[in-house]
Amino acid sequence: MEYRNLGRTGVKVSPLCLGAMNFGMAAEEKESIEIIDAALDVGINFIDTANVYSRGVSEEIVGKALRQKGKRDRIVLATKVWARMDDNDPNAQWGTRRHIIEQCEASLKRLQTDTIDLYQIHRPSSEYPIDETLRALDDLIRDGKVRYIGTSTFAAWQIVESLWVSREYGLNRFVCEQPPYNLLDRRIEREMLPMAQTYGIGII
């Protein structure tokens, strides 16, 4: 298996990342664990999930599978935060400090790990300042609960803005972006890819 650096970090990841969005939904637990085992057996060392996938069940399955396999330390484990997890609490959502800190703790428990290798903001939003998000993520890194931070479905200009804020305030910066990209949607080729190359942002 070939391995590549994740952005400008020293972390080596397989070109193929196992996405766990359907774990606990289209794929039940037994099948999901079998998929994870098969991926690890062929050398895939990069697994991506999110707190909102199956309302936490996906993370629980990934955590259980890695513990059973005994290979957590060899896996680059990525998850995301953003969506509402409590429909009755208006503050339990988005990129606010409270939501990020609370959901990181919950994800750590579900994943049965002490550290998340890559913690990503699942969606951008104009409802909160990016510096609040970055300060919360920076604290998680300093506390040893997160190693690196990234984005998902951000626009190129939003990532550049975040890099400026990180530099101005001395905060850890985003190292990667996870954009939509397929034969029918190639928009990232216009702005995202040139920006990523210029600033050393990895593309997942």
Q: In the chain, what are the domains?
A: 4-203 (3.20.20.100)
- Residue showing tokens 């190292």: 175
Q: 174 forms bridges with which residues in the sheet? A: 149
H/E run at residue 198: helix 192-199
Question: Residue 91: which pLDDT band, with cuts at 50, 70 and 90?
Answer: confident
| 148 close to 118: Cβ distance less than 8 angstroms | yes
Nearest-CA neighbor of 52 among 18, 23, 14, 17? 23
Catalytically annotated residues: 53
Token pair, residue 60, equals 């629980």
What's the confidence (pLDDT) of residue 86? 81
CA dist 48 and 95 (Å) reads 19
The pTM score is: 0.96
* Token output for 72: 């957590």
Strands 76-81 and 202-203 come out as unpaired
Q: Are 140 and 101 in contact (CB under 8 A)?
A: yes
Reported as a single tens digit per residue, the pLDDT across 62-86 is 999 999 989 999 999 999 998 878 8
Confidence of residue 94 (pLDDT cuts 50, 70, 90): confident
* pLDDT the model gives residue 79: 99
Q: Is the CB of residue 175 less than 8 Å from the CB of residue 146? A: no
Q: Is the pLDDT of residue 122 over 80?
A: yes
What is the pLDDT of the chain when averaged over all its residues?
A: 96
Neighbours of 47 (CB within 10 A): 26
Residue 83: predicted pLDDT = 81
Residue 53 has pLDDT above 90, yes or no: yes
**Secondary structure percentages of the chain, helix, strand, coil, to 5:** 40, 20, 40
92 has a pLDDT exceeding 80 = no
